[in-house]
């Protein structure tokens, strides 16, 4: 389920970033026609790399907002440092 959410969010994020890149390349092409195509190609390729971390952040935020725990077994599990660690239970003999 969470992988499906991540894939949908990634596709939507790629579309959004590609649209921003397209608009930027059109503005560059309007001002400097000789570098418009290079700008488009650079932003086109960069959009895939930029969209993935954004999609992960958005998907994890949405999953947590729905009240679920983010599955991290396949993405590093205990070695990840970006999640909230559970609090240790304190036992005290003075109670």
Extract the tokens encoding 42. Answer: 């650079």
Per-domain residue ranges for the chain? 2-66
Residue-wise pLDDT tens digits, 21-67: 999 999 999 999 999 999 999 999 999 999 999 999 999 999 889 88
Q: What is the pTM of this model?
A: 0.70
d(CA 4, CA 8): 6
Proportion of the chain above pLDDT 70, given as a percent: 75
Contacts of 18 (CB under 8 A, 6+ apart): 44, 47
d(CA 29, CA 24): 9
């Amino acid at each position: 389920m969470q992988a499906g959410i991540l894939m949908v969010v990634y596709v939507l994020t790629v579309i959004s970033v590609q649209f921003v890149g397209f608009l930027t390349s059109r503005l560059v092409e309007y001002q400097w026609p000789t570098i418009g195509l290079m700008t488009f190609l650079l932003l086109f390729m960069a959009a895939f790399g930029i969209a993935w971390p954004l999609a992960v952040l958005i998907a994890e935020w949405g999953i947590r907002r729905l009240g679920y725990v983010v599955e991290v077994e396949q993405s590093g599990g205990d070695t990840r440092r970006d999640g909230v660690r559970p609090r240790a239970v304190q036992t005290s003999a003075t109670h």
